[in-house]
Amino acid sequence: MGKELDEIAEELRNTNKKVQLIYAFNGTGKTRLSREFTNLIAAKNGDSEGAVLEEPTRTKILYYNAFTEDLFYWDNGLALDAEPKMIIQPNAFTDWILKDQGQDQNVITGFQRYADNKLTPTFNEEYNIKDKDGKDIVIKAFSEVKFSFERGTDEPSENLKISKGEESNFIWSIFSTLLDQVINILNVSEPGERETDQFNKLEYVFIDDPVSSLDENHLIELAVNLADVIKSSRSDLKFIITTHSPLFYNVLFNEVNNKACYLLERLEDGSFELTKKDGDSNKSFSYHLYLKHTLERAIADNRVEKYHFTLLRNLYEKTANFLGYAQWTDLLDTAPGDKEGYLKRIITFNSHRTLSSEEVAEPTEPEKQIVKLLLDNLTKNYGYWAKQEVQNG
C-alpha cells in the first residue's frame, strides 16, 4: 500500500531543497499532485469543508499545469467570415504580466523561440462593440490574441488557429515571462525596495510538464533556460518540477544543484509511491524496461486501466525511435488484426481530458486484451527486446 497524493504533497513541502525534480509517466497523476500541493500551500480560513482562502493562491505559490491552460480558449462561435482568435479569461496572472508590466513583446519573443520566428501573436487593444440589443460592450485590452505568419511584405497575413502544441508553448511563454519578472523582483533583498509587494509571501513555483510537442533541440533549450532562471533566484523561493520526458529530466538534473530527485509511481491499488533517486534517468530508472514491467504486472493481475494505454504508446514510441522507424504506428503492422482499431483505442485512452463531459469510459475486457496483444507484438517481433532481456537477465 502506497500513499495518497496529499501525503506526498506534505512530503514535498517538508523537503528542504531549492529544487525537487520528479519523473513520472503520463497518466500517473502529476497534474493532480500539483493541485494537491497548491491546496496544501494556499492558506485557508478554518478547517471545515466550506473553508475559504484567506488570500489568493498566487500569494504563496505559482503553478503551471493543465489548469493554467484552461485560462485560454478558442472562440468557436465566430461568424463564417470572422478570423480565429484565442480568448484569455479574466485573471490576475495575465493582467499583471501583460497590462501592468507591459511584457507582451517578451512573451512574443519567447513563443517564437520555441515555435516559429514568423508565427506572430497579436494582442488586442481595448475597444467597444455593440451587443444584439445595441448596448455598448467594452472589450478589454489583452483579452484576445490572434496568430498570423509574417511574410516580410506589405501583404496582410491571414489569421489562423495554431496547433495544440503551439498553444501550449504560447501559454508557457507567458508563464516563463512572469517567472522571470517574479525572480528579478524577489532578488531585491530589501522588501521595501521592491517594485511590488505582491510576491513577498511567495514560497513555491510548481511546474508540471512544460514540454508538450517540442522537438529535442527546443526541449533542451527550454530546460537549459528554465535551469538558468532557477539558478538566478537568490531568494528562498523553492521549485517543484514534474515531467514525463527523460531528456528534460536529465538536462535539469545536470544543470541545477541543491535538488532532490524522485520517481512518482501509481500503484495497482490506486495509491502512489514517491521514490528518491540519486542519478539521472539513465542511472536511476530504465525508462523502457520500467514501462514493460509495469504493463506486464497490470496484465498478469488483470488490472489494466486507461493510463496503461498511455504507457503502451510511450513504449511503442521509445522502441520505434531506437529502431529508426518514422512513426511509432509502423510497429502496429506486425500485430494480428485491425491496425486502425488498435490505433483508435490507444489514441482514445491516451488523450488528456479535463472536462467531465469528455471522460472516456474505463476499458472493457476486450480492450484490456489489446494491451497484452500489442505488448506481445513488441517483444516477439522486434529483436531489440530480445537483446534487452539478455542484457538485463
If you average pLDDT over residues 54-62, what whole number do you get?
78
- For residue 21, what pLDDT is reported? 96
Which stretches does DSSP call E strand in the chain?
A: 19-23, 44-45, 52-53, 61-64, 72-74, 86-88, 119-123, 127-130, 136-139, 144-149, 204-208, 238-243, 259-266, 272-277
Instruction: Please say if the pLDDT value at position 209 is more than 80.
Output: yes
- For residue 16, what pLDDT is reported? 94
- For residue 391, what pLDDT is reported? 54
Supply the range of the domain harboring residue 386: 286-392
Instruction: Please say if the pLDDT value at position 180 is more than 70.
Output: yes
Are 276 and 352 contained in the same domain? no
Of all residues in the chain, the percent with pLDDT exceeding 70 is: 83
The average confidence (pLDDT) of the chain is 84
Instruction: Please say if the pLDDT value at position 189 is more than 60.
Output: yes
Give per-residue pLDDT as tens, 31-55. Answer: 999 999 999 998 544 444 444 445 6
- For residue 102, what pLDDT is reported? 92
Are 297 and 354 contained in the same domain? yes
The domain that holds 79 is classified in CATH as 3.40.50.300
Are 265 and 343 contained in the same domain? no
Which stretches does DSSP call E strand in 28-161?
A: 44-45, 52-53, 61-64, 72-74, 86-88, 119-123, 127-130, 136-139, 144-149
If you average pLDDT over residues 253-263, what whole number do you get?
92
Q: Can you tell me the distance from the alpha carbon of 145 to that of 326, in angstroms, rounded to the nearest whole number?
A: 35
264 in the Ramachandran plot: left (φ > 0), alpha (ψ -120 to 50) or beta?
A: beta
Q: Can you tell me the distance from the alpha carbon of 185 to that of 195, in angstroms, rounded to the nearest whole number?
A: 7
If you average pLDDT over residues 279-303, what whole number do you get?
77
Are 154 and 220 contained in the same domain? yes
- For residue 129, what pLDDT is reported? 75
Q: Can you tell me the distance from the alpha carbon of 230 to that of 365, in angstroms, rounded to the nearest whole number?
A: 47
Are 351 and 296 contained in the same domain? yes
- For residue 175, what pLDDT is reported? 94
Give the highest mean pLDDT range of 136-145, 168-177, 323-332.
168-177
| Strand 86-88 relative to strand 72-74, pairing | antiparallel
Instruction: Please say if the pLDDT value at position 311 is more than 60.
Output: yes
- For residue 352, what pLDDT is reported? 45
Q: Which of 249, 281, 313 is the last residue of a domain?
A: 281
What is this structure's pTM? 0.72
Q: In what order do the strands lie in the sheet with 61-64?
A: 61-64, 204-208, 238-243, 19-23, 259-266, 272-277
User: Is 261 or 315 the better-scoring residue by pLDDT?
Assistant: 261
Instruction: Please say if the pLDDT value at position 212 is more than 70.
Output: no
* 8 band by pLDDT with thresholds 50, 70 and 90: very high
- For residue 354, what pLDDT is reported? 38
Instruction: Please say if the pLDDT value at position 264 is more than 80.
Output: yes
Instruction: Please say if the pLDDT value at position 116 is more than 90.
Output: no
- For residue 384, what pLDDT is reported? 67
Q: Can you tell me the distance from the alpha carbon of 307 to that of 152, in angstroms, rounded to the nearest whole number?
A: 45
Q: Which of 251, 281, 311 is the last residue of a domain?
A: 281
Q: Which of 281, 311, 344 is the last residue of a domain?
A: 281
Instruction: Please say if the pLDDT value at position 265 is more than 60.
Output: yes
- For residue 355, what pLDDT is reported? 36
Residue found by looking up cell 517538508 in the block: 14
Q: Can you tell me the distance from the alpha carbon of 148 to that of 146, in angstroms, rounded to the nearest whole number?
A: 7
The least confident of 31-40, 52-61, 355-364 is: 355-364
Are 99 and 199 contained in the same domain? yes
The least confident of 164-178, 180-194, 334-348 is: 334-348
Give per-residue pLDDT as tens, 215-242. Answer: 777 888 899 899 999 999 999 999 999 9
Are 169 and 310 contained in the same domain? no
Are 290 and 276 contained in the same domain? no
Are 95 and 235 contained in the same domain? yes
How many structural domains is the chain composed of? 2
Residue found by looking up cell 493541485 in the block: 35
The least confident of 29-33, 307-311, 312-316 is: 307-311
* 78 band by pLDDT with thresholds 50, 70 and 90: low
Are 73 and 171 contained in the same domain? yes
Are 122 and 226 contained in the same domain? yes
The least confident of 138-147, 278-287, 373-382 is: 278-287
Give per-residue pLDDT as tens, 133-167. Answer: 777 777 789 999 999 998 766 665 788 999 888 89
* 181 band by pLDDT with thresholds 50, 70 and 90: very high
- For residue 316, what pLDDT is reported? 87
Are 140 and 238 contained in the same domain? yes
